[in-house]
Amino acid sequence: MTAKKTNSMKLSDLHNGESAIIVKVYGHGGFRKRILEMGFVRGQKVVSILNSPLKDPVKYSIMGYEVSLRHSEAKMIEILYESEADDLIVAANIARDNTIVQNDGCLQSNACHKPEKHLAYRKNIINVALVGNPNSGKTSLFNALSGRSEHVGNYGGVTVDAKKGHFNYKGYHINITDLPGTYSLSAYSPEERFVRKHIFEKMPDIIINAVVASNIERNLYLTTELIDLNPRMVVALNMYDELEASGARLNYETLGEMIGVPMIPTVAKSRKGLDVLLDTVIDIFENRNKVARHIHINYGTTTEPEISALNDMIRASNDVPQQFPARYWAIKLLEQDLEVERILSKCKDYSQWKKFSDKAAERLKNQTNDDVETLISDAKYGFIAGALQETHIAGTLDSNKKTRYIDRLVTNKWLGFPIFILLMWFMFMATFYLGAYPQEWIETGIEKFGNLISEGIPDGPIKDLLINGVIGGVGSVIVFLPNIWILYLFISFMEDSGYMARAAFIMDKIMHKMGLHGKSFIPLIMGFGCNVPAIMATRTIESHSSRLITILINPFMSCSARIPVFVLLAGTFFPHHAGTVLISMYLAGILIAIITAKVFRKTFLKTDETPFVMELPPYRMPTARTTLKHMWDKGEQYLKKMGGIILLSSIIIWFLSYYPQTQSPNDSAIETAQTEYRQKNIFDTANGSAQTDLPAPSGKEDADEGAQQYEQSYLGRLGKFFEPVMKPLGLNWKASVAILTGLVAKEVVVSTLGVLYKNEEEAALSKTLLTSGDFTPQSALSFMIFVLIYVPCIAALAAIGQEAGNKKWALFAVVYNTTLAWVAAFAVYTIGGLF
């Protein structure tokens, strides 16, 4: 028996006549105090009685009297339907000891239906948001707490979306959300807007603020931003071992008392301090922690009076959103935060607040010659410096000494590029040559497995499906698993060590000439793994036009799904130069991306440049466990593709290539000749003679028959329809079909060729392609160029439409990329024919 999942509901969701139990009351200050005084406390039953004509306010019955609440106020009260009680009691038992307690009378007893019993499980659920700067070890902390294995990269932008996990600890069920790394909570970048929106809409019970202990002054700026929001919060002083190794000392207990936020030293990779961190989370949740309190950061004698005056105006309103305190709204209005202005514009007194804030900002500008944002930032850093002066002693050891030495080498203007190119060359050569050995072993295993199946099953559609469809299709792709693993091993190591951020740094000048900047480089490099997360990683780019150009050129970065195509054709038709051809494909993709970016920047995306600002984190030696886990995860995703989309595609391709069954005019003649040959052979053998008067059928008729069957099949007809378009590229109808099926996923190109070129005598697809005569070296090169450039897979197209903010850009990518692919492939085939 499993408990039905219950969704978090707000009092504003309750319909007339419905009743519920109050679970939590959110909000701050006077609003929260007033609501609690009116009886809206945890465990009380509330009934929705009547909506006003405009559905705001709403009348509720609670504790024997009626109360009117606005919709915005009711939205701050979490409720639970009474009918969910039994399910939650069962869930509580499961969470407690993984068994359903049947004998304590709780499931049958009427006592279980008291309001407090409804909360037996729900009140022990803690929703936690994990917030921190990029490179603060936030995702490592998330993995250590939740048990999940999200990829941890030593550069900004790895977490491009919220990741969720959950676990049980000391009777509490903790839901934890890993939010994107951000330096502040303004509306400057997508990450800042995303994090603030999550806190505003989801209202987490506790925020864990991940702070790099060895770089505490810079990291505490985000902490001061969170203090303005007045959430219940604990600071995880992550990588505390690095602070201690530097010789620095931090009186974190005193610092926590000064700023009203408990501080816990942690080392995520060794799980040090995590139990204390979780104990503190529970204490804050249960209002037992004596350190946690709300403080106001003083913004100075000129700024503070303006904040206070605007704060009083906003507090007097009864329709201001209660998720954040009035003081926070006042600060952001003075900073002219566009997102905050949009949220507050629905309030009836907004125009009055806006008028006052604009005049106040102008007054401050005239008095100080600085804008409000600068004044507030300076005050925050002043607050941080004052707190650290009493609690922090800088280390005598230079913790960044090693980083500076390495940077002198890898970012040197003469050595930086050769080192980068050498690393890329080594990565791709290793991907091809090291992967060739296990690839051969897998190929042999698939051949033996195919022979075993072939011997045990009689001829017919089922046998043909298994041999030519499943084994021929999936088997032809799975052999490239070692290449995928090796590629991700190198990418993971460069990300985790911190070198990838240096690659972006040395590439900034080149990216600037493309009309982009260094931050665009990391999503492009990530595209060598998979275009989908790489396109999502463009959220770290503040400039809209730069982000859009990076999204559109990302599919030209040859993703790992194209590796099977390149390795197959390069190894078959260029056996002595396969590594060079493989590298050339990647370089061609980069060159096309550069040209495309230049064209876009010169034409319809001319403006919206932003300066290049990117953190260069200290070098860290990646742990073997983390790197190998990342490599394994990517291989696991590849295997799941084998059992999912590629298996399904292979079966569909087999069906379309097997049906309709055709009979040529000489079928019966061939069959008769074969039958007579077998009968005569049996007769002569029985009489001790090995001679026959009939020649043995050569098998050529069977091969011709198979080719004719494929050509007349549904798939063949489809390929024939597109063949005139692809013929100038040196490609026949089979290649056309493979390109069409590659729209699903690029690996399917190889599985399609595996089905169409399956040969019982030649188990290896490469040998079959070589002997078929359908490909020449120049047509194989043309095919690879087309696969490199043409329309990305469906998942990448969906990511383009989502991240670009308009589906028309996905359609643009289809038309532009495919047209460019045809032109480039035609040029390669034509020029290749001249030589």
Mean pLDDT of 801-825: 91
Higher-pLDDT residue of 351 and 477 is 351
Residue 610: pLDDT over 90: no
* DSSP output for 560-628: GGGHHHHHHHHHHH-TTSHHHHHHHHHHHHHHHHHHHHHHHHHTT------------PPP-PPPHHHHH
In whole angstroms, what is the distance from residue 421 CA to residue 820 CA?
A: 26
The pLDDT value given to residue 834: 74
Structure tokens that stand for 247 in this block: 């010789």
- For CA atoms 236, 237, 238, 240, the dihedral sign is negative
Is the distance from CB of 55 to CB of 66 less than 8 angstroms? no
Whole-angstrom distance between the N-terminal and C-terminal Cα of the chain? Answer: 72
Residue 728: pLDDT over 90: yes
The closest of 199, 244, 242 to 222, measured between CA atoms, is 199
Torsion of CA 312, 318, 324, 325, to 10 degrees: 30
Residue 729: pLDDT over 90: yes
Over residues 431-447, the pLDDT tens digits come to 777 887 888 888 788 88
The pLDDT value given to residue 320: 87
The pLDDT value given to residue 682: 41
Name the percent of the chain lying above pLDDT 90. Answer: 24
Q: Are strands 77-81 and 125-132 parallel, antiparallel or unpaired?
A: unpaired
Across the beta sheet with 65-69, the strand order is 9-10, 77-81, 19-25, 45-51, 58-62, 65-69
The pLDDT value given to residue 391: 92
Q: Which of 87-96, 185-194, 198-207, 738-747 has the highest mean pLDDT?
A: 198-207
The pLDDT value given to residue 578: 86
The pLDDT value given to residue 700: 46
Phi-psi region of 699 (alpha: psi -120 to 50; beta: other; left: phi over 0): left
Residue 637: pLDDT over 80: no
Across the beta sheet with 172-178, the strand order is 163-169, 172-178, 125-132, 206-212, 233-238, 263-265
Q: How confident is the model at residue 147 (pLDDT cuts 50, 70, 90)?
A: confident
In whole angstroms, what is the distance from residue 628 CA to residue 625 CA?
A: 5
Mean pLDDT of 712-740: 88
Amino acid identity of 784? Answer: M
User: How many CA atoms, within 13 angstroms, populate the side-chain half-sphere of residue 770?
Assistant: 14
Largest CA distance in the chain: 119
The pLDDT value given to residue 693: 46
Among the residue ranges 26-40, 107-121, 314-328, the one predicted with the least confidence is 107-121
The pLDDT value given to residue 689: 45
CB proximity list for 110: less than 8 A, separation 6 or greater: none
Residue 388: pLDDT over 80: yes
Amino acid identity of 67? Answer: V
Among the residue ranges 67-81, 88-102, 601-615, the one predicted with the least confidence is 88-102
Among the residue ranges 354-368, 507-521, 569-583, the one predicted with the least confidence is 507-521
CA distances in angstroms from 818 to 277, 528, 722, 745, listed in the order given: 53, 20, 14, 15
- For residue 431, give the 3-state DSSP assignment: helix
- For residue 761, give the 3-state DSSP assignment: coil
Structure tokens that stand for 386 in this block: 């004052």
Q: Using alpha carbons only, give the angle 317, 322, 323 rounded to the nearest 5 degrees.
A: 155
- For residue 695, give the 3-state DSSP assignment: coil
In whole angstroms, what is the distance from residue 224 CA to residue 546 CA?
A: 30
Residue 797: pLDDT over 80: yes
Lookup result for tokens 């930032």: 377
In whole angstroms, what is the distance from residue 185 CA to residue 222 CA?
A: 7
Q: How confident is the model at residue 760 (pLDDT cuts 50, 70, 90)?
A: very low
Residue 117: pLDDT over 50: no
The closest of 80, 81, 82, 77 to 11, measured between CA atoms, is 77
The closest of 47, 69, 66 to 58, measured between CA atoms, is 69
Torsion of CA 408, 413, 418, 423, to 10 degrees: 50
Strand spans (E) along 213-299: 233-238, 249-250, 263-265
Residue 224: pLDDT over 90: yes
Mean of per-residue pLDDT scores for the chain: 79
- For residue 5, give the 3-state DSSP assignment: coil
- Whole-structure pTM value: 0.64
Over residues 405-440, the pLDDT tens digits come to 888 888 887 888 888 888 878 887 787 778 878 888
Structure tokens that stand for 260 in this block: 């009203």
Is the distance from CB of 324 to CB of 339 less than 8 angstroms? no
Q: How confident is the model at residue 799 (pLDDT cuts 50, 70, 90)?
A: confident
In whole angstroms, what is the distance from residue 214 CA to residue 237 CA?
A: 9
In whole angstroms, what is the distance from residue 411 CA to residue 408 CA?
A: 6
The pLDDT value given to residue 506: 77
The pLDDT value given to residue 78: 84
In whole angstroms, what is the distance from residue 174 CA to residue 205 CA?
A: 10
The pLDDT value given to residue 282: 94
Structure tokens that stand for 12 in this block: 């504003």
The pLDDT value given to residue 94: 46
The pLDDT value given to residue 160: 54
The pLDDT value given to residue 569: 92
Asked if omega into 660 is within 30° of 0 (cis), the reply is yes
Q: How confident is the model at residue 308 (pLDDT cuts 50, 70, 90)?
A: very high
In whole angstroms, what is the distance from residue 634 CA to residue 482 CA?
A: 11
Mean pLDDT of 334-341: 90
Q: How confident is the model at residue 818 (pLDDT cuts 50, 70, 90)?
A: very high
Higher-pLDDT residue of 335 and 700 is 335
Is the distance from CB of 759 to CB of 768 less than 8 angstroms? yes
Mean pLDDT of 42-52: 74
Count of other CB atoms within 10 angstroms of residue 674:
15
Higher-pLDDT residue of 52 and 312 is 312
Count of other CB atoms within 10 angstroms of residue 675:
10
User: How many CA atoms, within 13 angstroms, populate the side-chain half-sphere of residue 326?
Assistant: 21
Over residues 244-267, the pLDDT tens digits come to 888 889 999 999 999 999 999 999
Amino acid identity of 675? Answer: T
